[in-house]
Amino acid sequence: MIVVVSESASAHDKEMIRIYLRDRGFVIREQTLGEDEIIGASGKGVADIRELSLLPGVMRVAATSKPYELASRETKGEDTIVTVGKEGFVKIGGSRITIIAGPCAVESKEQIMETAAHVRESGGVILRGGAFKPRTSPYAFQGLGMQGLEYMKAAGEAFGLPIVTEVVSPELALRMKDLTDMFQIGARNMQNFELLKKVGSLGMPVLLKRGPSATIEEWLLSAEYLLASGTKDVILCERGIRTFETYTRNTLDISAIPVVKALSHLPVIVDPSHAVGIRAKVAPAALAAIAAGADGLTVEVHPRPGEALSDGPQSLYPEQFERLMRDIEALAPVVGKELLRTPRPGAVPRGLVPPVWTAGEDAGGAPPAELPAAFSGESGAFAEQALMRIFGEEAPRLGVPSFRAVFDAVLDGTAGFGVMPVENSLAGSIHENYDLFLRYPDIAIVGELKLRIVHCLIGDEKASLENISIVRSHPQGFAQCREFLDKHPNWQLEACNDTATAVASIAREGATKVAAIAGEAAAKAHGLKVLRTGIETNPLNYTRFVIISRRNGGKVPAPPGLDLDKPNKASMVFSVSDEPGSLFACLKILSERGINLSKLESRPIQGRPWEYLFYVDVSIPHTEAAFEEAVVELRTKTRDFHFLGSYRASL
């Protein structure tokens, strides 16, 4: 049983709750879970929940049916997101996929530094490595101990990576606390309860590996020990279980991922390296884990696996790890997630204003912290979902009534960044948003994200498909669901500024004969019911969102977590003279320098009949000088040239 204490509860109120529970035979434990102060009551006690709920200071009582009360989703419905590291950027859980990588064991300062460089360059965000290695054989390499941990901490600091390492005894936990960002409880120690209690009491994030013969309930009960001892940040790690199979080191229990995520609010990651134990099989197992819903991976990487002192056969070469990261980035949008990347040194943590930004002017000055990112629409909009993928669920955000208002908010300093949809894989370009870039020359594109769009028909709790007469959505929503709408020709379509606004209007009106086309998040945000899911014409339905920011003296601040040091894509707009071969001459400038043209679209110029603007996306080659030369020459060969921005392309 869990008693959630109200914020206004006095010390006397809390003591009376404790006395009530103890008198009825319960064992008491207290801690903070998320934003709630809770009193946990376990044991064989008996209490009247209604009577308990009426005690002063009690906000609510949750009677759980699971023995792992604190870890149970019955206690906490929303997913726990664990922050790792002092900078606060690296988070595990939610809409992100977090990759932990490094060697099985720290072998030398040079080895861990070299590995950290590869992990960082490929996109890993946490460095792993064992300083203390529990081994089956007493003669095997046992790690470098505290010296190895000091090497690892130095490597993490050098490359901006939080570190995670295994703790093997309660006596070592306190000594290791200041040298690591997250403790790992290894599979052999999953039921070392004294170790769990000690590590939990330190209040740090803990990565808990499943034991090779442990059931899911035993695994969650081990997490309960950690939570009950004081930490609120536990990550569960599936690393394979022992079965009769001999072709792999262990058997990866893929089914455990969705099962545990339904039972518990804690994030779940997978260790494919220990699960299969064979280098060539690690990547397929890793991708399968992501497809099954894992919140991240911990992968063994070594610069020279053949020389590794521990687990060399299952360690990836750096180039294999880089290839895996690219595959994960491509898979992430399909499962509705985004690959988390660490910002370059000097970048701004998510949700903060870049240091070069000054609201309303280009001069210097102390920027305000926590400027929101702007999006068009109300809570639950697809643009808001894209924003959270980019900046994180906790990032401050500002919903505004129109796409133009997003530009205005960024221009006047109300928002640090904006998120705008510009193109859909089914319905094509959103021309009104492209046109806004021409009206706001001080705004530039600084990043992009492709979001999979799953449309639902949403209505009031009392609504039914048979009674619907009006459907509201953004025109793009109608276009993307054309086949479904054609089956209901009697429905009247009403256009709204965005899909979430359509949902919000139904909630405000309490309309039972009106439905909206939007995402499931909008239905949850406004307390409505999903009448039909997956109504888009083609499941390969993606919308490309761009991140916009104000130019600052010719410089463009990078969004947190997005790398502007190595842009690989650029967008521009221009017109050409009305003479034969003028457009060909422009395209030839790109072709001769090996610059790939990924998009070319024409739009009429407003107020100038039969004249057209060309919207162009290009890939920036490795030799950036060739691209810069091309832009200079394009300016001389075109009219109305606008450079919209250079940025990292989203796969």
Task: Given the residues 543, 574, 614, 627, select the one marked as catalytic.
Answer: 543
Helix locations, 279-429, DSSP H: 279-291, 318-331, 382-391, 403-411
Which helix (H) or strand (E) element contains residue 598?
A: strand 597-604
Q: Using N-to-C axis directions, what is the helix angle for 582-592 and 624-637, rounded to 10°?
A: 170
Q: What is residue 315's three-state secondary structure?
A: coil
Q: For residues 339 and 27, what is the distance between their CA atoms, to the nearest angstrom? A: 42
Q: How far apart are CA 473 and CA 477, in angstroms?
A: 6
Respond yes or no: is residue 584 known to be catalytic.
no
- Residue 602, token pair as written in the block: 């024409």
Sign of torsion, CA 316 317 318 321? negative
* CA pair distance 353, 373, nearest whole angstrom: 10
CB 574 within 8 A of CB 640: yes
Radius of gyration from C-alpha coordinates of the chain: 27
Task: Give Cα separations from 129 to 119, 193, 204, 206 (angstroms).
Answer: 12, 23, 18, 15
In the DSSP assignment, the letter for residue 10 is -
Strand partners, 443: 550
Q: Which residue in 374, 402, 63, 33 sits closest to 227, CA to CA?
A: 33
- Strands (E) across 503-584 are located at 514-518, 529-533, 542-550, 569-575
Q: Hey, what are 499's tokens?
A: 């899909």
Bridge-based pairing state of the strands 58-62 and 36-42:
unpaired
**417 belongs to the catalytic site:** no
In angstroms, the CA 32 to CA 28 distance is 14
Q: How far apart are CA 545 and CA 526, in angstroms?
A: 23
d(CA 491, CA 439): 37
The one catalytic residue among 437, 545, 574, 627 = 545
Catalytic residues: 543, 545
